């Protein structure tokens, strides 16, 4: 029985370490990505990094993006367009980046992002745009 | 490479089979050591299923028994089977390594097998497939042809 308990403890430590590493990695990638520039647009838009092998993109992310309504979504194949994917530090799929109308990255979501979360980020991006326009 | 229809219920049954087998082996071996033999057997099942999908035990259980009897409903999704096969193969390799450790250092062997079960559970419950992410990273680096 003690062998099983030790094995359980080892797995617990590995899972905990992996979770910490993932949080650190996402935070570092987000810091590096915020403010990165892409093409300006008339309204905030979303850069959506996906790939043919990304199942969550099809089963979760794309239905969530479809709920956003009339928002411009630029779909990018992260494997085919490696330069753009590297610029936005895409290390996991799906990745969504909310871009301001000036073309700055405002919010970066590594992994699946829900529709309400994206709506909130888009609303913030629109608000930031209005503030900039009135200032 | 074009996508095709992948029945995600078959993948879910496969993941459930992996979790159940590892758990039976893990808990059972605490009382009766020969239960450990399930881990090398599972490694063989996963590796054979990776290279010859028609012999993938859990998927065949789904296609031949569970689906025709309506026990598990099919869930076809436009997808690519390669990342899932890669993930299954990776699981098989990890279990093969675990098997090699089971007699000399059982803690490491059991821990590796449990890790495979944890990853299968994460995929089953949350849809996060670590093997598929590794497949994507290898494809991005041009080490395998991912698209």
Phi, psi of A111 (to 5 degrees): 95, 180
Q: Please check whether residue A7 is in contact with residue B114, taking contact to mean a CB–CB distance below 8 angstroms.
A: yes
DSSP B1-70: ---EEEEHHHHHHHHHHHHHHHHHHHHHHHH-GGGGGHHHHHHHHHHHHHH-GGG-HHHHHIIIIITTTT
The pLDDT tens digits for A78-94 are 988 888 998 898 988 89
Structural domain boundaries, residue A15: 2-134
Q: How far apart are CA B135 and CA B143, in angstroms?
A: 9
Decide if B26 and A58 are in contact by the 8 Å CB cutoff: no
User: B50: Cβ–Cβ under 8 A, 6 or more apart, which residues?
Assistant: B56, B85, B86, B88, B89, B92
Q: Stretch B20-33: mean pLDDT, rounded? A: 94
Q: Of A1-5, A94-98, A129-133, which gets the smallest average pLDDT?
A: A129-133
Interface membership of A18 toward B (CB under 8 Å): no
Decide if B83 and A56 are in contact by the 8 Å CB cutoff: no
- Which has the higher per-residue pLDDT, B26 or A53? B26
Q: Stretch B12-23: mean pLDDT, rounded? A: 96
**Which two tokens mark A68?**
């956003």
Return the CATH number at A89. 3.40.30.10
Instruction: Mutate one of B88, B136, B137, B138 to test the A interface: name it (highest A CB count within 10 A).
Output: B136
Phi, psi of A92 (to 5 degrees): -145, 155
Asked, for residue B8, whether it belongs to a domain, the answer is yes
Interface membership of A118 toward B (CB under 8 Å): no
Radius of gyration of chain B (CA): 16
Phi, psi of A54 (to 5 degrees): -90, 105
pTM: 0.79
Interface membership of A23 toward B (CB under 8 Å): no
Q: How far apart are CA A93 and CA B145, in angstroms?
A: 17
Interface membership of A7 toward B (CB under 8 Å): yes
- In angstroms, the separation between the Cα of residue B30 and the nearest Cα of chain A is 5
Asked if residue A74 has pLDDT above 90, the reply is yes
Chain A and chain B share a number of CB contacts under 8 A equal to: 88
Structural domain boundaries, residue B118: 4-140
- What is the domain count for chain A? 1
Burial A53-82 (b: 16+ CB within 10 A, else e): bbbbbbbbbbebbeeeeeeeeeebbbbeee
By C-alpha distance, the chain B residue nearest A22 is: B130
Asked, for residue B146, whether it belongs to a domain, the answer is no
The pLDDT tens digits for B69-123 are 999 999 888 788 888 999 999 999 999 999 999 999 999 999 999 999 999 999 9
Q: Which residues of B touch A51 (CB under 8 A)?
A: 136, 139, 146-147
Q: How far apart are CA B27 and CA B46, in angstroms?
A: 21
Q: Please check whether residue B83 is in contact with residue B27, taking contact to mean a CB–CB distance below 8 angstroms.
A: no
- What is the domain count for chain B? 1
Q: Are strands B4-7 and B76-79 parallel, antiparallel or unpaired?
A: antiparallel
The pLDDT tens digits for A34-63 are 878 787 788 899 999 998 778 888 888 999
- Which has the higher per-residue pLDDT, B17 or A41? B17
Q: How far apart are CA A22 and CA A16, in angstroms?
A: 10
Task: Give CA angle at B57 (B52, B61), nearest 5°.
Answer: 125
**Which two tokens mark A102?**
């000036």
Decide if B111 and A11 are in contact by the 8 Å CB cutoff: yes
Asked, for residue B131, whether it belongs to a domain, the answer is yes
Decide if B147 and A51 are in contact by the 8 Å CB cutoff: yes
Decide if B107 and A3 are in contact by the 8 Å CB cutoff: yes
Q: Which long-range contacts (CB under 8 A, 24 or more apart) does B120-127 make?
A: B120/B15, B120/B18, B120/B19, B120/B22, B120/B91, B121/B15, B121/B19, B123/B11, B123/B15, B123/B87, B124/B12, B124/B15, B124/B16, B124/B19, B127/A55, B127/A56, B127/A59, B127/A60, B127/A112
Q: Please check whether residue A6 is in contact with residue B108, taking contact to mean a CB–CB distance below 8 angstroms.
A: no
Q: How far apart are CA A92 and CA A119, in angstroms?
A: 21
Q: Which residues of A touch B77 (CB under 8 A)?
A: 55, 58-59
Q: Which of A14, A15, A79 sits opposite B136 (nearest CB)?
A: A79
């Amino acid at each position: 029985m003690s062998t099983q308990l030790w094995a359980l403890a080892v797995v617990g430590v590995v899972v905990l370490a992996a979770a910490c590493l993932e949080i650190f990695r996402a935070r570092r990638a987000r810091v590096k990505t915020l403010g990165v520039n892409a093409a300006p647009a008339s309204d905030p838009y979303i850069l959506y990094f996906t790939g043919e092998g990304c199942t969550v993109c099809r089963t979760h992310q794309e239905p969530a993006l479809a709920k956003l309504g009339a928002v411009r979504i630029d779909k990018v194949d992260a494997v085919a367009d490696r330069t753009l994917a590297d610029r936005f530090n895409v290390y996991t799929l799906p990745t969504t980046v909310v871009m301001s109308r000036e073309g700055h990255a405002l919010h970066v979501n590594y992994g699946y992002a829900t529709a309400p979360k994206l709506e909130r980020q888009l609303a913030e991006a629109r608000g930031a745009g209005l503030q900039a326009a009135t200032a | 490479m074009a996508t095709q229809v992948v029945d995600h219920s078959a993948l879910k049954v496969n993941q459930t089979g992996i979790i159940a087998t590892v758990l039976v082996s893990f808990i059972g071996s605490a009382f009766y050591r020969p239960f450990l033999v399930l881990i090398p057997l599972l490694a063989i099942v996963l590796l054979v299923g990776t290279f010859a999908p028609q012999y993938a035990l859990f998927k065949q259980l789904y296609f031949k028994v569970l689906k025709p009897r309506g026990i598990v409903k099919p869930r076809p999704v436009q997808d690519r089977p390669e990342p899932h096969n890669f993930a299954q193969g990776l699981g098989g390799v990890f279990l093969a390594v675990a098997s090699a450790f089971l007699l000399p250092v059982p803690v490491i062997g059991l821990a590796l097998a449990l890790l495979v079960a944890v990853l299968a559970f994460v995929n089953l419950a949350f849809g996060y497939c670590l093997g598929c992410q590794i497949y994507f990273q290898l494809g991005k680096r041009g080490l395998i042809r991912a698209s």
